[in-house]
Amino acid sequence: MDTTNNLTQTKKKTWNPLTVVVDLWRYKEIIVQFIQREVSARYRGSYLGFLWSFLNPLLMLLIYTFVFGLIFNARWGGTNSKVEVALILFTGITTFNLFAEVVMRAPTLIISNVNYVKKVVFPLQILPVVALGSSLVHFVISLFILSVGMVLIMGVIHWTIIFIPIVLLPIILFALGLGWFLASLGVFLRDIGHIVGVGVQALMFMSPIFYPVSSIPASMQMFFMANPISYVVEDMRNVIIWGKLPNFEWLFIGTIIGGLAAVMGYAWFQKTRGGFADVL
């Protein structure tokens, strides 16, 4: 009887947003350790090691400048500077990659860590959080490279960059919710990883990363603006490149949507995790 009551209470708690926060806070030490291990393992065995975390975004910024600025002679609105266009593109793709890296990895998070499912009493719900944390580390490094580029090329860093954390909050919550949902679904449906890969590529081209929203035909803009990533990308450019305030109305709505996605993803993961061992 007590066991039944405990299970009922656990199911109810999974739908409480505070339960999600408390649960993750309880495992904060192990989350940090796993993030550190994952970041260091990414370049383990290479000669330059962690230095690649700085070199990769720097090289990408140089490539964007060369390809879009010199070869395609790209323009962005009233901007004529080829290097400034590269910074605009770099801001968009860096923001999108923060989301894409978590979502792309999510379907294999559980099936690639079977030992945690079968042999050890382990908080499996932290795995998507670790993936997000690792992605955030590399995002911050890319943001540092972008800031240096802003100083060297445009000669300024706008004070509006202080809004970056709240601008990113909707996409972080949304990515975390999808991470929990896809990590669970990937156990039962192995093909989901391939579907997600195609979906993420389509989403990238449906987001204003390589083009401004103003270039989209008016009849099509409603479809692009239904994509929450579009708002985040635009706001990131506003606060970093142009020194404008973010869209606070969207931040309020987007944070609620992202929060609901996170809670529902967490609840789904907790409800289905009992069947992981049977499938694996």
DSSP assignment string, 205-266? HTSTTSS-GGGS-HHHHHHHHTSHHHHHHHHHHHHHTS-PPP-HHHHHHHHHHHHHHHHHHH
The residue that leads in pLDDT, 132 or 42, is 132
Q: Determine, yes or no, domain membership for 222.
A: yes
**CA-to-CA distance for 59 and 155, rounded, in angstroms?**
21
Q: Determine, yes or no, domain membership for 6.
A: no
Q: Report the number of distinct structural domains present in the chain.
A: 1
Which range of 111-115, 145-149, 218-222, 262-266 scores highest in mean pLDDT? It is 262-266
Q: What is the pLDDT of residues 158-179, one digit of tens each?
A: 999 999 999 999 999 999 999 9
Q: What is the pLDDT of residues 60-73, one digit of tens each?
A: 777 777 776 666 66
Q: Determine, yes or no, domain membership for 212.
A: yes
Q: Determine, yes or no, domain membership for 167.
A: yes
User: What is the domain extent for residue 202?
Assistant: 32-47+90-273
Q: Determine, yes or no, domain membership for 155.
A: yes
The residue that leads in pLDDT, 9 or 36, is 36
Q: Determine, yes or no, domain membership for 198.
A: yes
Q: What is the pLDDT of residues 17-30, one digit of tens each?
A: 677 888 888 999 99
Compute, in degrees rounded to 10, the torsion defined by CA atoms 82, 83, 89, 92.
-150
pTM of the model: 0.86
